[in-house]
Amino acid sequence: MGVAAGIAAGVGAASSLVGAKKQKEAGKEGDKIAQQNAANTKAETDETVRRTKLSQEQALSASRARQAGSGVKSSGGSFDVYMSEMESTFKSDLDWIEKSGASKSNIESAQGRLAAKQGKASAWGTVASGASSLMSFWK
């Protein structure tokens, strides 16, 4: 093979290395963005939980105030059953918000880790392709 073929093989191999580096960097950046999204989702979930708890506490307090204002005995009986059911429903609502937020955050985090792995795998594929091109020069 001639000098031109050797130069072309060398340039091809070098460009493969540059491309591989860029692929790896892109994977890392994808992971970084996904991890930030996961952290944002967690923060949003935490805030939703905080606001929901506040709203629930206000609803429970309003119910107690109405009961107290009615002049009817507030301990025992149907009012206690009502309050217990209300608290149970509120707890279920909070559990669901926390569970769904954690699930979304975990998925985003996993997608980031996958992006980083895909970037590495693509980079190694590109390196192998460049090495193969360079090796074909010496055949």
User: Domain coordinates of the chain in residue numbers?
Assistant: 3-137
Contact yes or no for 65/12 (Cβ under 8 A): no
Distance of alpha carbon 66 from alpha carbon 79, whole angstroms: 11
| pLDDT per position as a tens digit, 3-39 | 666 666 666 667 777 777 778 888 888 888 999 999 9
pLDDT of residue 39: 94
Distance of CA 13 to the CA centre of its chain: 36
Instruction: Pick the closest to residue 16 from 136, 137, 134 (CA basis).
Output: 134
The residues of the chain scoring below 50 in pLDDT are none
Instruction: Pick the closest to residue 139 from 6, 15, 8 (CA basis).
Output: 6
Contact yes or no for 23/136 (Cβ under 8 A): no
Any idea what the Cα angle at residue 71 is, between residues 68 and 76, rounded to 5°?
Answer: 70
Distance of alpha carbon 11 from alpha carbon 28, whole angstroms: 26
Distance of alpha carbon 7 from alpha carbon 24, whole angstroms: 26
pLDDT of residue 74: 64
